[in-house]
Structure 1
């Protein structure tokens, strides 16, 4: 029998204390508990319900670092609790020299309140998608349908996915053939400026996290696989991606013009991407309609 302080029991305690409203989930009638259901935790973490059940029952005791990170974000753990989760799973806590992938509970609560009025996603310093709200998923398509490696804005924008690419982490719901962060066409007002800004931002991340092997491998992959990326990298530019204007060609609601602003959590180098429409416009109505089909979630990195 698993200890009351073991991984499964601790996951249950953390799940029971988090109300669905704090996670951006809609209120549902007939609830028997104030906390999250297993199905809701699985949805938020991008895992299968069966895998969450096995973790809580002690039948799965060795989640990968990616799964542990997704659980920590979904459960809105603080840094100390996240490190404790990693240790219970037999993992070393995330290195302070690596690109941070944790989102603080306060940031998650603040962003959850924007759902329905703005499409919001959180990316790490290497442009790996970490979290999104329902409006984002409704606007661009469910990110859980995308293999983990292609939930990276830089990789998705510069490389052409191959047929053999897979998800690589147990419990997810990725579908074969879906490889882009947006599942339908998106136009930027100045596409070249966006691409240049992303490359300059990645160079800045390399300066901040010079010992992060995954970040270095990503840059090598992009330089080897994309002449466009290699040419922009060769300029040596360092900077950040701040703002853009986009048109999302949504198949159900039609073309939707949006302002795209990139905010930064300075301590963790998180990139909070916020997509909004002009108040009272047809685009705002289309954004609200797109949100109805959304799926809130936290991606495994």
Structure 2
């Protein structure tokens, strides 16, 4: 019998019930009384005994080790948030991630590919630009023209000299105290989440040593305002343009999706559409030039 207050066992059974043999690469069997993995299948995947898994689910074993919880989390295909919850109901502190993720999850990649008509940039938790749409490049300048180290917003804001491209790395006036305070506030969250990330430590040490303003903001108790909101930018083709900038976080992978949109029916929307057409024409011209270059005969000798 299961104990009535058996949070750990109830959670394990619920998660076991949602996983199929196809999900984990096990051969399917024809007759099953319930959905999900059988207890012996999950035990096999996690490398523990079926009897021990039974005692966990019935609440007769209440304190599994950290290794057992980690093995079960992998076998159950748990998300980051689910893994944290699993540790808590097992009486353990959630694991601290060692490094900042720089990989784009497939879902975010699909979103970016479908949002080609609006400026979208995806940043890591250390505010390194990971990917962007062609409209982002049309609005803010092509990030691929920058050296990789200059695609980090923290360096772009707090380190001198600024980039030679003359374009901002983010859809906002980056020299204001309000913007810098909001950026530093988000960096504090990253610092707490990834205390062992060596690359992030090096970045913080770099800006600490070079920017008195950063040191002052880092030591201030104020949290700062949000990075999004209505922004006005000056573009060399369309002049001043007002956009709504939103920062969407993907918690499981800790990336920031930054989008820029214009209010419908406004001159700002017309300017953004003009940039879209100009970017499409530039891309077509580049493709035609590449095709012409490929068609040239190879020189002999």
CA–CA separation in structure 1 for the residues paired with 2:183 and 2:199:
17
Look up the match of 1:115.
Answer: 116
Q: CA deviation at 1:218?
A: 0.8
Q: CA deviation at 1:186?
A: 5.3
CA–CA separation in structure 2 for the residues paired with 1:103 and 1:240:
26
Q: Does 1:102 align with 2:89?
A: no
Look up the match of 1:143.
Answer: 143
Greater relative contact order (CA < 8 Å, ≥ 6 in sequence): 1
Q: Which residues in structure 2 correspond to 1:1-301 (within 5 Å)? A: 97-116=98-117, 118-161=118-161, 177-178=164-165, 181-182=168-169, 187=173, 191-237=176-222, 241-291=226-276, 292-293=278-279
Aligned to 2:231, the other structure's residue is in SS state: strand
Instruction: Give the length in aligned residue pairs.
Output: 187
Provide closer, same or farther for how the CA distance between residues 242 and 178 of structure 1 changes in structure 2, counting only shifts above 3 A. Answer: closer
Q: Structure 1: any 5+ residue segments left out of the alignment?
A: 1-94, 163-175, 297-301
CA–CA separation in structure 1 for the residues paired with 2:254 and 2:204:
18
CA–CA separation in structure 2 for the residues paired with 1:155 and 1:180:
14
Q: CA deviation at 1:111?
A: 2.4
Aligned to 2:259, the other structure's residue is in SS state: strand
Provide closer, same or farther for how the CA distance between residues 182 and 199 of structure 1 changes in structure 2, counting only shifts above 3 A. Answer: closer
Q: CA deviation at 1:237?
A: 4.7
Q: CA deviation at 1:192?
A: 2.0
CA–CA separation in structure 2 for the residues paired with 1:123 and 1:240:
18
* TM-score of the aligned structures, taking structure 2 as reference length: 0.56
Q: Structure 2: any 5+ residue segments left out of the alignment?
A: 1-95, 284-301
Aligned to 2:173, the other structure's residue is in SS state: strand
CA–CA separation in structure 1 for the residues paired with 2:169 and 2:190:
24
CA–CA separation in structure 2 for the residues paired with 1:236 and 1:213:
25
RMSD of aligned alpha carbons: 2.9
Greater fraction helix: 2
Aligned to 1:248, the other structure's residue is in SS state: strand
Q: CA deviation at 1:179?
A: 7.2
Q: CA deviation at 1:259?
A: 0.9
CA–CA separation in structure 2 for the residues paired with 1:138 and 1:198:
24
Provide closer, same or farther for how the CA distance between residues 186 and 96 of structure 1 changes in structure 2, counting only shifts above 3 A. Answer: closer
Q: CA deviation at 1:99?
A: 0.5
Provide closer, same or farther for how the CA distance between residues 214 and 221 of structure 1 changes in structure 2, counting only shifts above 3 A. Answer: same
Aligned to 1:260, the other structure's residue is in SS state: strand
Aligned to 2:178, the other structure's residue is in SS state: helix
CA–CA separation in structure 2 for the residues paired with 1:204 and 1:217:
16
Aligned to 1:187, the other structure's residue is in SS state: coil
Q: For each residue in 1:124-152, what CA deviation from the matched residue of structure 2 results, as whole angstroms up to 9, or x when unmatched? A: 00000001001100001100111111101
Task: Give the conservation status (yes or no) of the 8 Å contact 2:100–2:126.
Answer: yes
Aligned to 1:293, the other structure's residue is in SS state: helix
Q: CA deviation at 1:262?
A: 0.4
